[in-house]
Amino acid sequence: MSAVNENFDTQAAQIQQASKLDESLHPKADSERTVKPKDYIFMWIGDGVNLGNMTLGASVIVAGIATLNIWQTLIAALCAIGIISTVFALNDRAGYREGIPYVVQLRMSFGIKGTVISSLLRGIPAIVWYGVQSWIGGTALNEIAKIVTNGSFNNVVICFIALQLVQIVLSLFGFHAVKWVETVASVVFMIALVYVFGLLMTSHTAEISQNWVQAKGSWGLPFFGLIMVFLGNYAGIFVSAADYSRELKTGLSNKKRGALYFVPITISYGFVIVIGAMLAAATGVTNPAQALPIILDNDYVSVFVSVFIVIAVIATNMVANIIPPVYVITMLTKLKYKTSAIITGLLALCAFPWLLVQESSATGLNMFILIYSAFLGPVISILIVEYYILRKQRVNTAELYNEEGSFKGYNPAGLLAMFIGAAAAFIEVELAWIIGVVVAGTAYYLLSKYAFKGSSFKKGTIFEK
């Protein structure tokens, strides 16, 4: 037995004795990690291809006029993807090296009790989006059922519940289900996108060239605003990067892991954004679900679009909206993983998604997104400052699970920095994410250094005396 394995076994025994958490939240041993690099790539491709991301691409065309031309769109997308991949690779390292999930990683910066607040900022929005995505998928599933039954069946509620039950069952299998769902989804998505791209290039080149490629666009606030929107769209996912990296097989360098984010996100996110902009330029319609039928224009279009939406919903939920809140509920309730997965699915059912997707609810939903996104930027900044600057990547993992150890209670520096960063983010909404990141990270460093003398959270940091 190697020294590394002996150390892990000793640490595991200490955690088992001190922790009150379910074993699903304990550090993952090397032998328990089943996700290979290719599985990881498929996972992020499957997550990146969805109508929401396609709508972001279409958003550069407003009332038929491009706010950004093709080069500005592509550069903005590449800048965002580069930042996303970098933040992912930085924030996933604690989970990859220590095997800990996001809710345990939070304890370093916010404390065991303080983690309740910061974890809910990730868990609650994910549950809401779980329900919203499932309702959209249920609507698409109902369209398929109407076509198959020649209109004799028409009940969105039943389809929504049926789809939700399928997702709950899949979620019980954890990352084993994520792997094969995302592999199948990514293959289907890429075939479909290549087909749509081919149709657009052969039949709508003139409209795309005139309305998007040759547009003047802007290198000002709309350009940087689009980058911030892209970052905000991934804010909830890369803040909980440890939930994914702890499942990845060990032995990969930091550069290789960075590539496991950059390559699939570029392929999926980049491709989907471009197609979204092309669809809007070709049709003048910014809703991809409405623009796709115009482009495809054949008898099977409704089934094709609906199947695409259903698969996209399942793929997106499996990665972004199920695992993180399940871990949050497991931490808060001390329940088993499978029980928490069922509760998460039932809560998504009760999120009233049929109300949230109505046009009358759009303003309220956008405000909800704005509020929680303003907090997620500061959280990711605090985690990175904590791990790399204050602790120099050295963590006493067993201590994170010790309910009476140095991380018990609340870390006032972390909570105060988070609220300061969120408040600053609202100064300029279009640049909220980057403002929150800079302000919160700076505030956390200064508060950790100069405030709260004698705090137990300084133990193990560069400010320990």
Pick the range with the lowest mean pLDDT from 178-182, 318-322, 359-363, 426-430: 359-363
Contact 143, 306 (CB under 8 A): yes
Three-class HEC string of the chain:
CCHHHHHHHHHHHHHHHHCCCCHHHCCCCHHHCCECHHHHHHHHHHHHCCHHHHHHHHCCEECCEECCCHHHHHHHHHHHHHHHHHHHHHHCHHHHHHCCCHHHHHHHHHCCCHHHHHHHHHHHHHHHHHHHHHHHHHHHHHHHHHHHCCCCCCCHHHHHHHHHHHHHHHHCCCHHHHHHHHHHHHHHHHHHHHHHHHHHHHHCHHHHHHHHHCCCCCCCHHHHHHHHHHHHHHHHHHHCCHHHHCCECCCCCHHHHHHHHHHHHHHHHHHHHHHHHHHHHHHCCCCHHHHHHHHHCCCCHHHHHHHHHHHHHHHHHHHHHHHHHHHHHHHHHCCCHHHHHHHHHHHHHCCCHHHHCCHHHHHHHHHHHHHHHHHHHHHHHHHHHHHHHHCCCCCCHHHHCCCCCCCCCCCHHHHHHHHHHHHHHCCCHHHHHHHHHHHHHHHHHHHHHHCCCCCHHHCCCCCCC
Give the model's pLDDT for residue 319: 85
Please check the confidence at residue 3 and state whether its pLDDT lies above 60.
Answer: no
Give the model's pLDDT for residue 4: 52
pLDDT-derived band at 364, boundaries 50, 70, 90: low
Tokens for 110, please give them.
Answer: 């916010």
Distance CA 122, CA 399 (A): 23
List, for residues 282-300, the tens digit of each pLDDT value.
888 777 767 877 787 666 7
- In this prediction the pTM is 0.86
C-alpha angle with apex 89: 86 to 92, nearest 5 degrees?
Answer: 140
pLDDT-derived band at 451, boundaries 50, 70, 90: very high
Distance CA 315, CA 49 (A): 9
Mean pLDDT of 94-103: 94
pLDDT-derived band at 9, boundaries 50, 70, 90: low
137 HSE (CA, 13 A, CB side):
25
Pick the range with the lowest mean pLDDT from 34-48, 184-198, 334-348: 184-198
Mean pLDDT of 330-355: 90
- The separation between CA 171 and the C-alpha centre of its own chain, rounded to angstroms, equals 16
pLDDT-derived band at 52, boundaries 50, 70, 90: confident
Pick the range with the lowest mean pLDDT from 56-65, 342-351, 402-411: 56-65
Please check the confidence at residue 33 and state whether its pLDDT lies above 70.
Answer: yes
CA dihedral defined by 287, 288, 290, 296, rounded to 10 degrees?
A: 160
Domains defined along the chain, listed by start:
21-458 (1.10.4160.10)
Q: Across the chain, what does the average pLDDT equal?
A: 87
Tokens for 162, please give them.
Answer: 């049926």
| Highest-confidence segment of 218-232, 265-279, 312-326, 375-389 | 375-389
Please check the confidence at residue 143 and state whether its pLDDT lies above 90.
Answer: no
| Highest-confidence segment of 91-95, 192-196, 288-292, 400-404 | 91-95
All residues at 6 or more sequence positions from 285 whose CB lies less than 8 Å from its CB, including other chains:
279, 291, 294
Distances in whole angstroms, Cα of residue 398 to Cα of each of 4, 54, 160, 169: 15, 43, 42, 32
Identify the residue with better confidence: 446 or 179: 446
pLDDT-derived band at 1, boundaries 50, 70, 90: very low
List, for residues 224-280, the tens digit of each pLDDT value.
888 887 887 788 888 999 999 999 999 999 889 999 999 998 988 888 889 989 988
Query: Residue 378 corresponds to which amino acid?
Result: P
Identify the residue with better confidence: 44 or 352: 44
Mean pLDDT of 27-45: 90
* Percent of residues, the chain, with pLDDT higher than 70: 94
Q: How many CB atoms lie within 10 A of CB 13?
A: 11
| Highest-confidence segment of 11-15, 71-75, 228-232, 290-294 | 71-75
Distance CA 44, CA 85 (A): 11
Mean pLDDT of 54-64: 78
Give the model's pLDDT for residue 245: 95
Give the model's pLDDT for residue 168: 95
Please check the confidence at residue 416 and state whether its pLDDT lies above 80.
Answer: yes
Give the model's pLDDT for residue 232: 76
Give the model's pLDDT for residue 161: 95
